[in-house]
Structure 1
Amino acid sequence: MTRIFQLLLFLFFAVNCSGPKKQEKYTQESVQKEIDKLEDLQYTDNPTAIMNMTKEIKKKAKAINFDLGVFNCNLLIMSNLHSLGKYKEMISLGKENDVLISTVKNSYDLAQYYTSMGTAYSNLGLVDEGRSYLNKALEYNNKVPKSNEKYLQLATIYGILAFDVAMRNKSLLPGPTKKYYLKELWALKQVDDSDKFKSKKNRILSFLYLNLGIISNQQNRADEAENYFHKSLDVCKKFGITKETPLIVHNEMSWLLYDQKRYDSCIVYAYKGLIFEKNNSKATVRRDLYEVLYKSYSEKGDAENSSKYTKLYMKLNDSILDAQEVAINEPVKNLIEKKEDDHKDNLTIILVIIGGVAAALAILIFFLWRRNQKVLHSRYEKIITELKYKDKKILVFEQNTDLKTIEFERKSYIHDNTINQLLLKLDKFEKSERFLKKDMNLSYLASSFDTNPNYLSTIINQHKGKNFNNYLNGLRIHYLVKVLYKEPIFRQYKISYLSEYCGFASRDVFGIAFKKETGMTPSYFIDQLKIDLQNDVEKTC
């Protein structure tokens, strides 16, 4: 692929740069042909080169006042900016197209434009703006006659709408997301495998099957998920796709097989994933593969290999965490320095020009902001306050462990001495962090307490006010809340990692339990902690 792309670039420049330099006369037709050539090249692996060539053609279009050519050049540049993840630049370029949009009569071009803008806004987390643009994209796409272009563009729109839904729901409700992915699959199946569209169609298709597999796995449909993962790998193999998608598929497959206790197959997929990772350099995925390998070997009783991959995992994890810490601290440091410089300049202006009036206004704005924040974060602050209160309560309980001083509000058929003994054991259990074990259940805990599950369940219901599952989930969530509150580095971890860290079987169960205990999603809670940390840093300045 790289050699073909280099040859195409050489031919492009040879045609456009050969012969003695002279003042060329461009026509709208000649410029549009150059744009069409680049559109055929844009699905190669060098978006930066395509963008640079497009910018040169854009200059020609501007020179002859070819507004539609400028518009289409901007669309092509936006497409390649998307490949590079530069969404703010996409929006800036889109604003330039806003001025030109009245000259565009082609519904397909308009659908492309609104799709690009919707993509940019959605990826920046501005889902309402993104949805507005995507709805317009659907509206114009409906006007396009049936063709490969129409359905390929429609598939792209549905893919972004699926992402938009996932952003809104924080992936806790996979059903609505899957609905759009299935619509995307339908649209792709309407596109034939002609040379012009084959590359893009199958790149999208391989990634779509991956996403469908992940969603099916979240819905606990393991067989369906495995089938989608195999389809993704089949497309990758058939069309020579080696970037990212097969790597992620092998990682997801290995974890799926691990959850099914198919450890030998899990190890095979993890090893294949490591081969793909060498060409993709995704350290976080390599860390996941090391983790699933050491866990699988541990389950198989292979201590040597388990130890080997445990060491590799821990070493790489430390490196990633160090890099994340640098990535977090450096922008904060730059922000603090910038604010200090701005403060010095602004202070002089305030003292000389504005004086007390501006200071009074700043104070007023500050208090209005504080009041607004208090309303917005009341639930969050309630959780933090409750957390602190519960810490104090535990300290008081530890100072009064005499069984004679413990009183119970409810009577039961269980002997008081048994109740007291089990409550003390539960107290030790709550402080031991044993509740983080993934295989913890009522029978296991009752056995470790030398009692029967019915006794233990009854006491937890009467004295903890919850059934066993809610009691266990509550301990895990409150533990994680404390960790997130006290250890900022944990706020950088993925939700899937946090759910497994505190013993949950899946991200969905974790998300539901977290919201039930705290009244908010884990993502919202983490975001507010990050904001508080930022505010604390700024106040120290």
Structure 2
Amino acid sequence: MKLKYLLMLLVIGNVFFHAQTNNAEKKIPEKRTYKELEDEFYKALPGDTNRTKSIAGSYLKKAKSEKNMPQIAEGYVMIHFEEDLPNALKYLDSLQRITRNSKENIYPARIYLLRGNLYLKTNNLQAALNNYILGLKYAKEKGNKRQIAMAHTSIAYLNNYIGKHAETAKVLKHYAYDADYMNQDEKNSLKLNLADAYIEINKMDSAYALIQEGLLDSKKNKDVYRYYQNLGLLGYYHLHLKNYQKAINGLLKCEKYFFTKNNGSKRNHNYTLLYLGKSYAGLQEKEKAAELFRKIDSLVLKTNYIYPELRDVYTYLIDYYKENNDKEKQLYYVDRFLKVDQVLDNQFRYISRELPRRYDTPELQQEKDDITNELTKRKSLFYIVLSLLLISHLLFINVYFKYKKSEKNYKKIAQDLIQSVNENRVGKNNDREMNKEISSEPLVSESPENPEDKTSRTISEDIARNILHELEIFESKDQFLNKGITLGSLAKKIKTNSKYLSEIINTYKGKNFATYLNDLRIDYAISRLANDKKFRSYKIPFIAEELGYNNEQAFTLAFKKRTGTPLSVYLKEIENMSLD
């Protein structure tokens, strides 16, 4: 789940950004002041578009009639919330024009944060991140703590999409408990998202405590909307623990509330149906699950709201209709899956770690071709069908042999790596002794060009030798396995500066610091996995953590990039060669 409640926090946060001017609060024909209109607007339930548009229109009309520039700015902010992306951006452009010379410390950061929210709502994560970074920059320049908090929590939302759930939880926890400048509504929203992040990292007790706190507090304050948000999250909590019936009991109440008079946002609608469908699937009530997943597809077509868990929805529907031998609908949902997958691939840098892999794009494309050929067979002449079948078989054979060739290449690389590890066992100590002798000699490059010509004239030979000596210690003692190593932290440790260290690594190691650190870790992994049976018996996330990586995905991607073969193939070949 991807912090579906965070946008609520961002909307709440916008209340803070109101200009602190009260001198223009005069009565308008509707007998409402600016303050009254603002309160009505921000207390309206999400989805009550007609009401919020009317309030925002009245506010802006009043401000323009009085030529009150600060309140006109607020009017543009309010009215942009319920507009589509192009019109909303135009209102923010107008806001930027009239606040260009504003002395308030909320500008220009406010504009970039609001733009980021717009792009986030429309799944343009790259544009959202760019705007959040700019918002953070200007918020820091103006020393606006609350805007800094809004930028940080927004970026935490994006981090969550690439699997950094623990990092997300850390940010949310800080602002929920250690930031006294956040108001209670903001803290409540942060805690809701924090509970969600805790579920993702399996801190179930902490998640449950926060959800119960949210339920009790919202009930006490008669905050119905927040109560059902927490109830929906409780449903996800039970789903995660496979308490399917308990999940269903609460989620059915959420469905009734969120879908009545359009009380919920599209996030509430989608995730309520998603968890209900998964819960019914867990109980093997396949027809109910499929019905709910079809409703989600209808919502996606209507709102174009796309999120990573949709792959679960479409793969389930594909399997469901495959089991029922309904080729037409199977093909339809294969098409839907491919379209959604393309959007996700374009919009997100990394695909969620929990998504199923057996329906990856190449396999689905091939399955689509096979189904299309089968349906064509019923409607076409024999020779056309025969031709299509021949083409499909040729394509299949081509794909098959390419796969086999790739698999054989991976195995060969893995075997060569293992052989190299075995051959280097004896020579490793000799190599280290040789390196020690070399380090005591004047620094001369093996290449025709002296490395001193490449490095800055400000780095003396003594300093360079000292840094190389420290790097030798760093390598020999396997200190590169420590988590959180940066160029700055290593420079500080060996008592030099980042510029010197970077230049020495680039010159004498022939690579930048990130590549240098990554290569050390992977080379260590190659050797230890081959030599240490107990180590390779551990689960991959644990091995990744031992090697200093933040997550399994970062390790496996780095391994393949360094070696040219997947980690799984390397481990399999180690076992095969051990058995031999």
Q: TM-score of the superposition, structure 2-length normalised?
A: 0.44
Q: Which has the higher contact order (CA 8 A, sep 6+)?
A: 2
